[in-house]
Structure 1
């Protein structure tokens, strides 16, 4: 008997997550082996569960989907990750590709394309819609073009510093950052000071703006953006 395809789903909106899980669980031979409501939980659970395919929302709290993808693949490079998002901006697409994800799906297309996307990743293929494919092609053809002045996230930040920027931008105190990352408060405060100095920022509001511009945190989308993923009836 063929083993079922084991899929892990991470999205901070419970209704959306349940909608995605319902679509996937209805497919013969597929099982949803786990769920997470933020990126940090996704990193921890995927290490334990070792799913075949991982579906990650980008705009999750505590640790965004891009950083979660980087950490998951750093631990196990063979994982196949499908990014689920509301935007197909060139900047975000480039970051998704750099992170190592194998698929990119807009939430607005999920109802009709989610199963196809997961099937592609299950067969060790990639999945990108036509708009994303065009961005990839243009990037390949324009490989010698000058890089944009601002890239995201800043290459001068380490993975740990990007985590701290996200937590601070979400309004967490140094003590809360320390608890979330298992650091001492003094170490968290030192990281905060170093980050502000490195980025030449002088206020929390400037840090929040930096985090938004560099896709470290994401402005919540209107509920309508996720409408296609909401189950017709929630038990």
Structure 2
């Protein structure tokens, strides 16, 4: 399949959607150093982002995943290249169909600059996602690894952290509710959790970037291996 490209008639318009003022100012300074790029507008709340997307569509949206909830539908992002940036290294967009990449605010400055330059200089038309497989940014969308959990269990855990229930998770991953429930039970067993409420609480803490290694110190080691006494 031939790569679909587009021609620019002016600067690349970038909208910043971040809750933190310092992060906003820092990214603006980085973007101003990129030839042919300009910050079209900045917003710091979800409501402001919704209004801005309805009024004016940028070429690139650099946003905290927390501001892109269900109210921001994929249809509102058609034609916009989206880079997620968050202070929480575990955070990832729940779906990949409207995101080009992810970078943590805790990343090295060089990594953040590289991500901005890649998404600003991209000439692949949005919607031709098959052409983006080789893009370095696409690899950044993979969920952060979790100890003791399988890849699929990690995906389920990440969706739980975003408040998704079994039905929504099943639709997201193309799996039955029964399969999702089995994954949830396996996750609880591996993490030594006794109820679904503890699972949701732990998942949300993880999504905020908090370490969960010591959250439940009494949880059993994987595969039934006994932990040495403290």
Q: Quick check: 1:7–1:30 contact (8 Å CA) kept in 2? A: yes
> C-alpha root-mean-square deviation of aligned residues, in Å?
4.0
Q: Work out which structure has the larger RCO, using CA pairs closer than 8 Å and 6 or more positions apart in sequence.
A: 1
Tell me the equivalent position of 2:29. Answer: 22
Tell me the equivalent position of 1:42. Answer: 49
CA deviation string 1:11-68 (max 9, x = no partner): 111122111111102222111000011222112212222110000123xxxxx23417
Shift of 1:80: 1.1
SS in 2 for 1:128: helix
CA distance in 2, matches of 1:113, 1:87: 15
Tell me the equivalent position of 1:75. Answer: 76
SS in 2 for 1:108: coil
Shift of 1:112: 1.4
Tell me the equivalent position of 1:116. Answer: 114
C-alpha distance 2-83 of structure 1, shift in aligned 2 (>3 A): same
Tell me the equivalent position of 2:129. Answer: none
TM-score after normalising by structure 1: 0.52
Structure with the largest fraction of helix? 1
Tell me the equivalent position of 2:105. Answer: 107
CA deviation string 1:205-231 (max 9, x = no partner): x9x94893585xx479xxxxxxxxxxx
Q: Quick check: 1:54–1:80 contact (8 Å CA) kept in 2? A: yes
The number of aligned residues is: 158
CA deviation string 1:67-105 (max 9, x = no partner): 17x71533232211100013333xx33x44446311101
CA distance in 2, matches of 1:80, 1:127: 14
Q: Quick check: 1:8–1:46 contact (8 Å CA) kept in 2? A: no
CA distance in 2, matches of 1:7, 1:23: 12
CA deviation string 1:154-173 (max 9, x = no partner): 14688xxxxxxxxxxxxxxx
SS in 2 for 1:101: coil
Q: Summarize the alignment of residues 148-163 of structure 1 with structure 2, pairs less than 5 Å apart.
A: 150=157, 151-152=159-160, 153-155=163-165
CA distance in 1, matches of 2:96, 2:165: 12
CA distance in 2, matches of 1:111, 1:147: 28
